[in-house]
Amino acid sequence: MYEKFSKILSDARIYCTLNHEKAQRIVYANYLSGQIDDVIKRYLEGDDVMVSFGKKLKIAQNSLFTFVLFPKVPSTNNDTERSIRKCVMHRNVRGQAKSNAGMRMLAVFLTCFEI
């Protein structure tokens, strides 16, 4: 099931490298959503952990292929994760975010140095 899910996402990313009309992207996103339905059905027939993942996948199904519909949307959240990494590291190391005042001070401080 993992291989099928990975293949679907890989195919979607390859599709996005090509220039398609909006109507074509909508049709392809619906096709991918149908492919995910097959994967979800298999997960819902497994053990508790698989069923839990299948339910989460079903909830996220409508937004999984936003990057297919809108070409400027990235297929991963890696850039966002990288952008907040420094803030999380400071928060964990310094412990300044234990109060609202500490969180505010840290946010202002990091914003000043990130700009």
Report CA 91 to chain centroid distance, whole Å.
23
User: Phi and psi for 81 in degrees, rounded to 5?
Assistant: -60, -45
Helix, strand, coil percentages (3-state) for the chain, rounded to 5, are: 80, 0, 20
Q: Residue 12, Cβ neighbours under 10 Å: how many? A: 19
Mean pLDDT by 10 residues, the chain (115 residues): 86 91 94 89 86 88 89 83 74 67 75 64
Rounded to two decimals, the pTM is: 0.65
Sketch the domain layout of the chain as residue ranges: 2-69, 78-114
In contact, 29 and 8? CB cutoff 8 Å: no
pLDDT of res. 26: 94
pLDDT at residue number 28: 95
Asked if residue 37 lies in contact with residue 72, where contact means CB atoms within 8 angstroms, the answer is no
- Tokens standing for residue 113: 């140095």
